[in-house]
Amino acid sequence: MNILILGIGNILFQDEGIGAHFIHYLDEKYDFISQKNSVSLIDGGTLAQRLIPEIVKYDELIVIDCIDADNSKAGDVYFFDYRKAPSYINWQGSAHEIEMLQTLNMIDMNKDLPQTQVLGVIPKRIGDDTTFELSDEIIKAVKVMEDLIVKYLLTLDVQMKIINKNTTIEEISLISFKREIKNGPKI
């Protein structure tokens, strides 16, 4: 099985960039090991519909993005099946929410959408200033996000070996714009 972990977000707008930063964080910190499956990471930025040709190549998709949810607070993390999204979840937590939601809907309408999970986090700051810095709430949420990804990948027979235990999301957020992902295709 081919698995894609896709980070979405505009890294110039504070917490809005967490999906993209998180992909670079995983890439820097872990090696993915499986005898049966492959894992690719893509920093999808705000490409949305331009990602369709890449997304449809995979059997399993995990989208990392900002979302919004009823009765939530900054830093809350949600993990759900895209096709069974709880009614209290929406995509209004980011500056690009409609584009990514529309992209997934378009792929689904064409019956090409892989099994899709969403790892969403509630942002605190979006677009107040152009900066790579993340809020404390998002920084703390990364541990929960990481634990959820590790547990889910284990169910798909993928082990994650730590190769750089000192990696922090704060450091990655300041350099992710110039990093190339080693565990992913060039898009």
Residue 129: band (very low, low, confident or very high) from pLDDT cuts 50, 70, 90: low
CB 126 within 8 A of CB 66: yes
pLDDT one-digit tens code per residue, 99-111: 777 888 899 999 9
Average pLDDT, the chain: 89
Of the pLDDT bands very low, low, confident and very high (cuts 50, 70, 90), residue 187 is low
Higher pLDDT, 123 or 101: 123
Going along the chain from its start, the domains and CATH numbers come out as 2-178 (3.40.50.1450)
Handedness of CA 65, 68, 74, 78 (dihedral sign): negative
The set of residues, in sequence order, having a beta carbon less than 8 Å from that of 40 and lying 6+ positions away, is 2, 3, 4, 5, 58, 183, 184, 185
Please name the residues in contact with 139: beta carbons below 8 A apart, sequence gap of 6 or more.
169, 170
pLDDT digits 0-9 by tens, 51-71: 999 999 999 999 999 888 899
Residue located via tokens 């069974």:
84
